[in-house]
Amino acid sequence: MTTHWTQDAVFYHIYPLGLCGAPAQNDFNAPATPRLAQLHGWLDHIQGLGANALYLGPLFESTRHGYDTADYYWVDRRLGSNETLAALAEDLHRRGMRLILDGVFNHVGRDFWAFRDVKQNLQNSPYCSWFTGLDFSRRSLMGDPFTYEGWAGYYDLVRLNLDNPAVREHLLNAVQQWIETYHIDGLRLDAADCVSLDFQRELAAFTRRLKPDFWLTGEIIHGDYRRWANPEILDSVTNYECYKGLYSSLNDHNYFEIAYALNRQFGPQGLYRGLPLYNFVDNHDVDRVASSLEESAHLYPLYALLFTMPGVPSIYYGSEWGLTGKRTPHSDAALRPALSLEEAARSAPQPELPAAIARLARLRHSSSALQHGDYWQLHISHEQLVFARRSAEEILVVALNASDSPVAIDLPVPDRSQGCLVDILNPGDVFPFENGKALAVNLPPRWARVLTVTGA
C-alpha cells in the first residue's frame, strides 16, 4: 500500500492575522511588523497536543482579511516579512512538522497590483484580461467606471481569469517561490469549488513535479467530493458533510445523523472509501464548536469521534480549550481572536480538554487502523455509536457514549470468535469476549473506549 505523510497527520489550524493581533486594515505604508514570530512560542503547545502539521491561513500581502490578496510574493507587512515566515518554516521543519498554506487563487483584492493598474489606465491597462467579466460600458457598485465579477457578489474580491496563461504563470511562479523559499508541504485551496478544474489539474502536476509528496486539499462545501479529490487533481477536500453532524448529533441526542454520513462516506459501499477527507469541528468561517454545542461536556465524545473516524483530523486554534465564538451577519472577528498562549491556557473554559485531545492524537499516531483502516458500523442508538476500524495489522472497536450516565452494552467483535478487547484509550480496562460478542461492556459517560481486538 502506498503511504503518504498525511496518513499520520494531525493538523493545527491558525488564522495568523487574528491570533497575532494584526490591525484590521493594511495601510500598505507601515513597516513590516514581525507579529508572525509569536507562533514560535506556540509550537511546543501544538506538538504537545499531538499535532504534527500546521495549516496557516492567508499570509501574503492583503487589504484586510487575507483573502483579498494584494501581492502573492510578499508576506503581509502586518505579520512581518518574507524572512519572518522563512524563520518560522525553518523552526517547524526542524521539529519534523509539516507546513500548509492557504492558496487563494480564485480572486484577489481591489489593491492587487494588476487591478490597481486597471483602475488607473482603464482600457489601456495590459492587465484587463486578467479579470473576469471586465466591462467598461457600465459602472461598478464600488464606483469604478467599469464593472467586473466579484466572488459570490462581494466586489472587494475580484475574480481572476484563470483561463489566461499569464495569470496562471503568475500564480504558479508564486507557488514555486513558496515551495523553494519556505519548503511548504501543501496548500489548502480557498473556494476550490469556484476554481477551474483545469487550473487545479495544472497546479497538481506542477507542485508534484517540484515536490512529489506535496499535498493539495480544497475548500468544498457541497457536491460530490470525487469531482475534486482524485488522482489527477486534489488529494483531499474539507469534509463539510460531516462537520454539522459531528456536533448536531450530540445536541439532538441523535447519533443516527452522523452515523448515516459516516456510512455514506466510508462504509462498505461508501462513496469515499480510501479518500482521506480533511475533518474538522470548527474553523475560521464557522462558529466555534463550543458555541454550537448545547452541553460543553459533549466536547469529549466529539473530539473522540473526530480522531477515530476515517480522514485527517484538524484542530482550530483555541478550540482545544473550549473557547467560544460566534459569527455575526457582518463580522467573523469573534471566530478569529488574538490569543496569548499563556492567558488562553490559564483561563480555559475546558482545562482538561487539551490532555484528552493529546491522548486521542497519540492513539492515532500509533494505529494503522485509525490512520487508514476500513470503517463499518457495529451498533447505533440515540446516544451510543460503535464502529470498527480495520487495517492489515489490527482491528479496533471504537465505542462512543454521549450520555451523562455510564451505559453497559453488548459489543459485537468483527473477525474474531474469542479473546479480549483491550482499551488503549483508557489503559487497564480489558473485556473478554466469546462467540464474537463482548457482553455488558461499560462505557463511561461523555467519553469513549478504543478497544484493540486480541485473540482468535
For range 229-245, the mean pLDDT? 97
The helix/strand count (H/E) of the chain reads as: 13, 19
Counting residues of the chain whose pLDDT is more than 70, the rounded percentage is 99
pLDDT higher than threshold 70 for residue 153: yes
Q: What angle (nearest 5°) sits at the alpha carbon of residue 397, between those of residues 390 and 50?
A: 80
Query: 2 falls in which pLDDT band (50, 70, 90)?
Result: low
Mean pLDDT of the chain: 97
Strands 395-401 and 384-390: antiparallel
Cβ burial of 314 (10 Å; 0-12, 13-18, 19+) is buried
345 pLDDT above the threshold of 70? yes
Average pLDDT on 98-122 reads 98
Confidence band for 215, pLDDT divided at 50, 70 and 90: very high
Beta-bridged to residue 385, according to DSSP, are 380, 400
Q: At 17, which helix (H) or strand (E)?
A: helix 16-19
pLDDT value, residue 61: 98
CB 362 within 8 A of CB 50: yes
Half-sphere exposure of 274 (CA within 13 A, CB side): 8
Q: How many percent of the chain have pLDDT more than 90? A: 97
pLDDT tens digits, one per residue of 424-449: 999 999 999 999 999 999 999 999 99
DSSP state of 149: P
What integer is the mean pLDDT of 316-334?
Answer: 96
Q: Does the pLDDT of residue 1 top 50, yes or no?
A: no
pLDDT value at position 241? Answer: 97
As a whole number, mean pLDDT of residues 211-217 equals 98
Question: Which residues have a Cβ under 8 Å from the Cβ of 87 and sit 6 or more positions away?
Answer: 37, 40
pLDDT of residue 422: 97
> Does residue 263 carry a pLDDT above 70?
yes
Check pLDDT > 70 for residue 423.
Answer: yes
Residue 3 is predicted with a pLDDT of 75
Q: How confident is the model at residue 455 (pLDDT cuts 50, 70, 90)?
A: confident
Among the listed residues 315, 394, 313, the one whose alpha carbon sits nearest the alpha carbon of residue 350: 315
Task: Give alpha helix (H) positions in 324-404.
Answer: 341-346, 353-366, 368-372
Q: Which domains does the chain have, with CATH numbers?
A: 5-106+164-369 (3.20.20.80), 107-161 (3.90.400), 371-455 (2.60.40.1180)
